[in-house]
Structure 1
Amino acid sequence: MARVAAPLSATGKQSTHPVDEVLPLPKLALYGFQHVLAFYAGAVIVPIIVGGALGLSTEQLVYLINADLFTCGIASIIQAWGIGRVGARLPLIQGVTFTAVSPMIAIGLGAGGGTAGLLVIYGAVITAGIATFAFAWLPPQGLPHDHAALPAGRHRHGDHRPRHRADPGRPERRRGRPRQPRLR
């Protein structure tokens, strides 16, 4: 992505774009605290839902929440700093997804619930993580090499006619009001 230079200020110096400027410390601390609170609420509710559905005790639920926060912290450090080719190297917080709540509850209840169900969930998550990490390095088979550069609404193999035209020899009929010319 190309960087756009910020406009020159009245003194002739190039000013900092508002997105790139560093906020004053009180405002920075307030926004950082708000970000952590938003992350914390999402990171804590998933273990509470899963633990409640599996029938875990209060001590086990506290352990599950602590394990969740710890792994989110480790994942955030890996994403922010990066290890080799792994990590975005951006200031972000790696959180928990609600997408996996229903499958985790189904897996845990299928294994009998409680601690036994939680152990099966841990095994499934670790196995899925290893498989995802192993398959992420493989090139996507079956996709054309220029798949990412393919414009929307176009055919794949050099035919750049819009897909909605049934007969290329016949002029397209417009329905509805005619388009107004754009002002430039």
Structure 2
Amino acid sequence: MKQLPTLCLLIFFSCKPTPKTEATSDAEIDPTVYEIWEDFTQVNLAFKDEEMPESWFFHDNQKDADRLAKLVIDGKKRASSGLYKWYEDAGADLPKVGTKHIITNFNGTAQAIIEIVQVDTVPFSEISVAYASLDMGTDVDPLVKWKTAHEAFFKSTLEENGQKFDEDMLVVCETFTTIWPKNP
């Protein structure tokens, strides 16, 4: 997903930016984003005429954004989460199966292309260990790590807007596969 203007930008822990409401200009897109899409379509000719997907990075700081991009490349991170409320407040559609995204590092350099394979809406309190493992990229206490990180982030972000966190809040759970580069 393209980066949103600073005023609208919300990047969540091991998640993605909030639903896009404005376009990013071509001048703001790193040349590697175009290059990775060109490389992908040269090998996968069926996608040659598709529009280049949006590009974005996980999280809100360089260390985590770069770490999470590496987990995507390694095939360990295969999910992303956001609050349903954010989509609703933005008037944005929920993610759709088949949608592709170009994942970048914090500096905008293209790292991988992912494709959404499943979208579910689940109450925060009902997130499963299996899903948490996909989102966090680890099998070591994934649910504890997921809930701790996401609750803290959701609370702080909601509080900035005068809203309160509730464990019954719906989470949009996207599961994806890394389609480029191909893992051996």
Structure 2-normalised TM-score? 0.24
Q: Name which structure has the greater RCO, CA cutoff 8 Å, separation 6+.
A: 2
Which structure's residues are more often strand, by fraction?
Answer: 2
Which structure's residues are more often helix, by fraction?
Answer: 1
Q: Which has the larger radius of gyration?
A: 1
